[in-house]
């Protein structure tokens, strides 16, 4: 005769709660690691965007023997060099489109017209994915033509005092939106050559990101220079991740900022890409933004 035991095997309530607690702890430990891995991938993609932009700038220089203007527009208050060949208020991101495999889009622009005038205004809603940081938020532009904004901005140069010479950096323009540095690479109506970057192309910033949602300065990605405000480039005067647009007089001085933990991705004039920590010393940061200041501080 077979004797069957009436005893049943299984988890007790206490054991089940312990297992659930352990699983919860493991998930809590895993989530930050997953988020960190995703952010690392996004930062890598952002760096790749800047690398492609850097190559496009080099191809523009190879073709025209100068870098594009940071923003073309009125010759009034031009930062350096002769007036750009076109009079329209157009940003540098438009000028490099043929070198970003966007020739068909480039050919639709009228460079004698402003970004918010026909036919250019109809092109502002076009989303150029290479101009968007994946860690940022794609936002609609405000003011002027309705459409998409961009996350990558030209370096107009440092403002303040040269940390090596103790002489103030040269500026031009009115203070209504922040005066313009004359020591950068992509400014109003500029035509900078690599030979003009006397501090060294590997020691000079050309493009950085402004991709935080609260930057408050987002305009049409096609916008350039209107004679006082620059939509496509910024001065280096405020620390990284520190100063959004105040709605009044600091539009040209908005900090480069991002959602990457601890800093911002930048492209150098030589085409390389670097991450600059928000804790970088201002004397180093200003030196890194200057193309011809002769500063003795090494790039971070």
Give the confidence band of 81 by pLDDT, cuts at 50, 70, 90.
very low
- Above 80 in pLDDT, residue 86? no
- Above 70 in pLDDT, residue 235? yes
Tokens (6 digits) for 233: 């480039």
CA end-to-end span of the chain, whole Å?
84
Structural domain harbouring 163: 40-289
Q: What's the mean pLDDT in 174-203?
A: 94
pLDDT of 243-292, one tens digit each?
999 999 999 999 999 999 999 999 999 999 999 999 999 999 999 999 99
pLDDT of 3-31, one tens digit each?
555 555 566 777 777 778 888 787 777 66
**Size of the chain, expressed as the number of residues it contains:** 300
Tokens (6 digits) for 120: 């250019």
> H-type helices in 121-257, by residue range?
none
In a domain, 299, yes or no: no
CB 129 within 8 A of CB 53: no
Integer CA distances (angstroms), 32 to 27, 261, 282, in order: 9, 13, 31
Provide the number of structural domains found in the chain: 1
In a domain, 31, yes or no: no
Whole-angstrom distance, CA of residue 139 vs CA of residue 121: 17
Per-residue pLDDT at 146: 76
User: Could you give the 3-state DSSP secondary structure of residue 153?
Assistant: strand
Per-residue pLDDT at 5: 53
- Above 70 in pLDDT, residue 124? yes
Closest Cα partner for 277 from 285, 269, 267, 287?
Answer: 285
In a domain, 23, yes or no: no
Closest Cα partner for 225 from 4, 47, 69, 62?
Answer: 69
Q: What's the mean pLDDT in 189-207?
A: 96
User: Could you give the 3-state DSSP secondary structure of residue 152?
Assistant: strand
Tokens (6 digits) for 284: 């180093």
In a domain, 295, yes or no: no
- Above 70 in pLDDT, residue 80? no
pTM, entire model: 0.86
Q: What percent of the chain shows pLDDT beyond 70?
A: 88
Closest Cα partner for 153 from 171, 132, 170, 169?
Answer: 132
Contacts of 95 (CB under 8 A, 6+ apart): 60, 68, 69, 72
pLDDT of 95-123, one tens digit each?
999 999 999 999 999 998 999 999 999 99
pLDDT of 44-74, one tens digit each?
999 999 999 999 999 999 999 999 999 998 8
In a domain, 35, yes or no: no
In a domain, 297, yes or no: no
In a domain, 253, yes or no: yes
Per-residue pLDDT at 13: 73
Integer CA distances (angstroms), 71 to 114, 126, 223, in order: 11, 19, 7
Query: For the chain, what is the mean pLDDT?
Result: 88
Whole-angstrom distance, CA of residue 45 vs CA of residue 286: 26
In a domain, 27, yes or no: no
User: Could you give the 3-state DSSP secondary structure of residue 96?
Assistant: coil
């Amino acid at each position: 005769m077979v004797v069957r035991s009436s005893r049943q095997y299984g988890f007790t309530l206490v054991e089940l709660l312990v297992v659930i607690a352990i699983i919860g702890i493991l998930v809590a430990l895993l989530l930050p690691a997953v988020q960190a891995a995703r952010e690392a991938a996004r930062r890598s993609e952002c760096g790749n965007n800047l690398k492609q932009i850097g190559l496009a700038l080099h191809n523009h220089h190879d073709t025209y023997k100068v870098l594009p203007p940071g923003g073309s527009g009125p010759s009034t208050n031009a930062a350096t060099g002769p007036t750009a060949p076109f009079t329209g208020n157009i940003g540098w991101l438009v000028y490099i489109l043929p070198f970003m495999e966007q020739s068909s889009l480039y050919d639709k622009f009228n460079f004698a017209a402003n970004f918010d005038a026909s036919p250019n205004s109809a092109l502002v809603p076009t989303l150029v994915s290479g101009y968007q940081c994946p860690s940022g938020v794609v936002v609609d532009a405000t003011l002027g033509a309705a459409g998409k904004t961009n996350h990558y901005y030209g370096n107009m140069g440092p403002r303040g005092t040269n940390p090596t010479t103790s002489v103030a950096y040269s500026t031009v323009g009115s203070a209504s939106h922040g005066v313009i540095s004359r020591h950068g690479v992509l400014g109003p109506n500029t035509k900078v050559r690599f030979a003009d970057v006397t501090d060294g192309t590997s020691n000079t910033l050309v493009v950085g990101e402004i991709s935080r949602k609260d930057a408050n300065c987002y305009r049409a990605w096609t916008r350039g220079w209107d004679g006082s405000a620059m939509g496509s480039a910024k001065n280096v005067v405020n620390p990284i991740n520190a100063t959004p647009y105040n709605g009044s007089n600091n539009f040209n001085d908005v900090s480069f900022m991002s959602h990457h933990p601890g800093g911002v991705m930048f492209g150098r004039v030589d085409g390389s890409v670097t991450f600059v920590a928000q804790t970088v010393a201002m004397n180093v940061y200003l030196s890194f933004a200057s193309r011809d200041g002769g500063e003795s501080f090494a790039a971070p």
